[in-house]
Amino acid sequence: MKRSSFFTSYISRLFFAGLLALALAACGVTTGTNLDVTAPTVVSTSPVAAQVGVRTNSLIAATFSEALNSDTVTAANFTLTGPGATPVSGTVALDTSNRVAVFTPTSGLTADTVYTARLTVGIEDAAGNALGSASVWTFTTSSVAAVGVPVYLGTAADFAILAKTAISTTGTTSIVGDIGVSPAARTYLTGFSETIDASNRFATSAIVTGNLYAADMATPTPAKMTGAIGDMETAFTDAAGRTSPDFSEIGAGEIGGMTLAPGLYKWGTGVSINTNVTLSGGPDDVWIFQVAENLTVASGVEVILSGGAVPENIFWQVAGQVTLNTTAVFNGIALSKTQVVVGTGAIVNGRLLAQTQVTLDANAVTAP
């Protein structure tokens, strides 16, 4: 009887020890030899230390050796200062991998100026280990001032086309760059006649110079897609949340025939482009268009870039649908709250990032 009681007590202790271990693991606490006691480190920065000629509209970023506790990546622990230790106003965010911290200045930096970025030991990893030591580096901005601060796309920038529900194509389409859907499955990539890779992590297609990804593919693709979709939604919110527009309600929503300087544009309506529009500025300048309803580019109409302007610095934040009609030429990053519909023969130099679906018809889409 005593022996039976001993074993009963022993088994009970094992059972409750197991429950305790499970509870600790659920709270992110490890036990035994798996305990994380390693401090995170900074493995790279952008700009790099002592870099000169940095664009005045650059984002400041640091990549860490491991995932961080997002609650510790704050404006108090990631700062940027100018001459005389003057604080630079900005926002701090962590990407979906929890390894890249980004400081976005509220406005462009001053040209030909030395800035100091600081990461304090208040930053911790997921296990509560603080940064081993503060990380401080300086850089010097270019003598030429750029206009506007770009929208940070995070891992959404890995894709030429990204959507949540579907991507479809008909006709002879050509895409340069990866495409992906999530939480939709691979069956919602239609018209690509894709071939699944042996690893089941991606697919390929004769009409895509890149890979095709979907949420139901093998690990680590589901996490990759969840992260990219999250970054796309964060980018949309960033673009929509920019304040103090340089231009409001111009053309009452019809901007065809205009030449637009870099800056932040805002409309409380939809925007139509019925004749060619020109975006004129340098390669570091930024355009952000906040459109409260739909964006429509008429058939045969072009968004023309001049003066060195580049598609990766042009952001069309559209609360409704983006429609690019037959043979239109579109430059920039489309961030659509709903869908993007691309008419027959239309050309896109940029990215199509939609929170529902993207529909193509014999189009050329080239990621910058």
The tens digit of pLDDT for each residue in 272-298 reads: 999 999 999 999 999 999 999 999 999
The answer to whether 274 and 254 are in contact (CB under 8 A) is yes
Mean pLDDT of 157-182: 98
Average pLDDT value for the chain: 92
Coil, helix or strand at residue 18: helix
β-pairing, 340-342 with 135-141?
A: unpaired
The tens digit of pLDDT for each residue in 83-110 reads: 999 999 999 999 888 999 999 999 899 9
The tens digit of pLDDT for each residue in 126-146 reads: 999 999 999 999 999 999 899
**Structural domain boundaries of the chain?**
42-141, 154-366
Coil, helix or strand at residue 86: coil
- Whether the pLDDT of residue 252 is over 90: the answer is yes
Which of the four pLDDT bands, split at 50, 70 and 90, describes residue 19?
very low
- pLDDT for res 131: 96
- Whether the pLDDT of residue 114 is over 80: the answer is yes
The tens digit of pLDDT for each residue in 30-70 reads: 444 578 999 999 999 999 999 999 999 999 999 999 999 99
pLDDT above 70 coverage of the chain, percent? 91
Name which of 342, 279, 359, 351 is nearest 312 in CA terms: 351
The tens digit of pLDDT for each residue in 323-364 reads: 999 999 999 999 999 999 999 999 999 999 999 999 999 999
Please check whether the domain covering 42-141 is classified as CATH 2.60.120.620. Answer: no
Using CA atoms, how far apart are residues 155 and 54, in angstroms rounded to an integer? 22
- pLDDT for res 10: 40
- Whether the pLDDT of residue 21 is over 70: the answer is no
Using CA atoms, how far apart are residues 114 and 174, in angstroms rounded to an integer? 44
β-pairing, 135-141 with 51-54?
A: parallel
3-state class percentages of the chain: helix first, strand second, coil last, to nearest 5:
20, 40, 40
Name which of 154, 150, 147, 94 is nearest 119 in CA terms: 94
Using CA atoms, how far apart are residues 304 and 295, in angstroms rounded to an integer? 16
Q: Which residues pair with 265 in a beta bridge?
A: 247, 289
The tens digit of pLDDT for each residue in 310-333 reads: 999 999 999 999 999 999 999 999
Peptide bond into 47 cis (omega under 30): yes
pTM: 0.83
Using CA atoms, how far apart are residues 222 and 105, in angstroms rounded to an integer? 32
